[in-house]
Structure 1
């Protein structure tokens, strides 16, 4: 039977790693991720998590250890934040190109300088073109569910999965979390049996030089399999809904039926945006919310369907592609380009470095979008 616990987001991750049957955890501490690996270490010491716990000397080494473990067929996990993810960058590419089913939790941390331990999404989004699946989470229950689902998804598509959580708003805030017993997850997570898995009985070399034609073919296959992963994410969500009665797939809509304006948000901002949408509806506005959960693969078709019929979309970006605009705004505009009758996309940047995105800030963005006949691009919501 599922156990109800009061847990922070980071504690929920640790329990998910244990319940998913992780076999190797390689870890290096960095705020605000540190308590994930501390809780996993505690669960290993208590015998609740059966993983081999490997303390390493850097984040680069953490992912390197996971690569070795995954090549041998083990369920491998690591976690990091901000500068730690940046240090992993070379091996983030390597693990995706090698098609290894590693699971990584990135607790979003603003990139230095100046130093910041608080949240924005530029660390994870700077890895958007590496070939990893990325799933963004709103609350601790969704974070637990997403980590377990990541362990199920990664071996099905032979693509590593990054689960993303906002620092402190989610990582260090305690909420009620339902933690299923391991028996309730039976049959959900398949073994990884790819032909390039290392086997001492069948020696082989991996990662060697590829000629241009073979290299391009492999990258095309990775791209195609990302698109196929959209179906797998939805199938896992449907199975999770059948087993536990909760969850969503690549995105979630809220009060979008007949909406004239739609707010697009990710992570914990979606919860605040939901309250802003309710406030707008109480004032007679026809406002809805789309919560984007899967950023890679990007669910362009699902987004086009979700915003169809609206006059405008207000995108809230806790990130910035400097010299351009917010990243989710860019992606949505690309998805809607050339679509007849597509809504105008208004992009607003807020909450960088962990600054609060309040309901009033979101209501300001909604009002500004209505007053601006030209869709805003990269407008900062600041005092």
Structure 2
């Protein structure tokens, strides 16, 4: 029977970690993810989990400890944000290349400089090509559910890759919402017991991990890694379907909100999707056929599915809460536009950068984007391809 509770995003994620009961958690505090290991350490101190909690001296050390633990056959988790994720950079690639199914909550926060502790997606977007699976989450409920499912995806025999469960700093991490929790036994049975095929501690089947890889083999190992992350898409679908049977909550690779008959639509990730849904509702009341596609799985990128979902609209604005510094648009925009090339060429696609450093974005800000899209849909002409929302020019 589901448990009704009121929790912040960080509390919900820590609660899920308690139910998962990982073998090792190694973490270093950084705002706004600090509460995740803080809450979880209380479960450790109270004897509610069997986890070995490793207090380290930096985020680089945290990921290094996670790599060592996972290589030794331990189910391993961590959490970080912003500069902490950036300090892990070297080890992110190593964790993925060694095919270690570590699960990490990435509580999204702007990168310095200037120093900023508020939300945008520059941290996780910067790590999007590190080989980690990335799942983005709008609400506390979604973050809780995704963390539980992430264990199954990461550890699947066809995947064996680390997973980032991303949600917005302060907006989601510290805001309290009503949430439906699963019973401990349900979660325990769902994630199952971790039985790695390879382990450094398996003396009967000795292996080497992270060894020197010469040109004769390195390319093939990268190809295997690329195939594994492709496999993650179908594995996530299967895991979500199984999760729906025990929770009653069904997820997809992305969420479509009033998109089926929309003329204009935006693509967006994480908490601002909630604001955008309110905007869609307001515009629908005015007779405007607005819709929304909310990104959930970003790595691997569900290109074909997104192109199909958007192929019938007249104009799309892709919303990026990170500046890609490519002079060609933000990271989500680049992927969406590429996905639509040759499959939805008649659709006009523009980009908006928004909310950097925690800049507030409300319903009427999002309405400006839809107003812009309506002009494009009516005229068939794109005036400005790359746009900034709510900035003092």
Using structure 1 for the length normalisation, give the TM-score: 0.97
Match of 1:346 in 2: 350
Structure 2 SS opposite 1:314:
strand
CA distance in 1, matches of 2:50, 2:367: 47
Deviation of 1:111 (Å): 0.6
Shift of 1:326: 1.5
Spell out, residue by residue over 1:143-162, the C-alpha distance to the aligned partner (whole angstroms, 9 max, x if none). 00011111111110100000
Q: Is the 8 A contact 2:82 2:109 kept in 1?
A: yes
Task: Give 5+ residue unaligned stretches, structure 2.
Answer: none
CA distance in structure 2 between the aligned counterparts of 1:178 and 1:359, rounded to whole angstroms: 27
The corresponding residue for 1:32 is 32
CA distance in 1, matches of 2:226, 2:20: 27
Aligned residue number for residue 167 of structure 1: 169
Give the alignment's Cα RMSD to 1 decimal.
Answer: 1.4
The TM-score with structure 2 as length reference comes to 0.94
Equivalent positions of 1:1-383 (< 5 A) are: 1-156=1-156, 157-190=159-192, 191-195=194-198, 198-322=201-325, 323-372=327-376, 373-374=381-382, 376-382=384-390, 383=392
- Name the SS of the counterpart of 1:205 in structure 2: coil
Instruction: Quote the Cα distance in structure 1 between the aligned partners of 2:98 and 2:340.
Output: 32
Once the 2 structures are TM-superposed, how far is the Cα of residue 356 of structure 1 from its aligned partner? 1.2
- Tell me if structure 2 keeps the 8 A contact 1:346–1:375: no
Q: State the alpha-carbon separation in 1 of the partners of residues 200 and 386 from structure 2.
A: 44
* Conserved 8 A contact 2:109-2:121: yes
Instruction: Report the Cα distance in structure 2 between the residues aligned to 1:375 and 1:175, rounded to whole angstroms.
Output: 40
Between 1:206-215 and 1:184-193, the stretch displaced more is 184-193
SS in 2 for 1:29: coil
Structure 1: how far apart are the matches of 2:291 and 2:224?
36
Q: Cα distance, 1:196 vs. partner? A: 5.6
How many aligned positions are there?
Answer: 383
CA distance in 2, matches of 1:335, 1:88: 30
In structure 1, distance between residues paired with 2:188 and 2:165: 22
SS in 2 for 1:188: helix
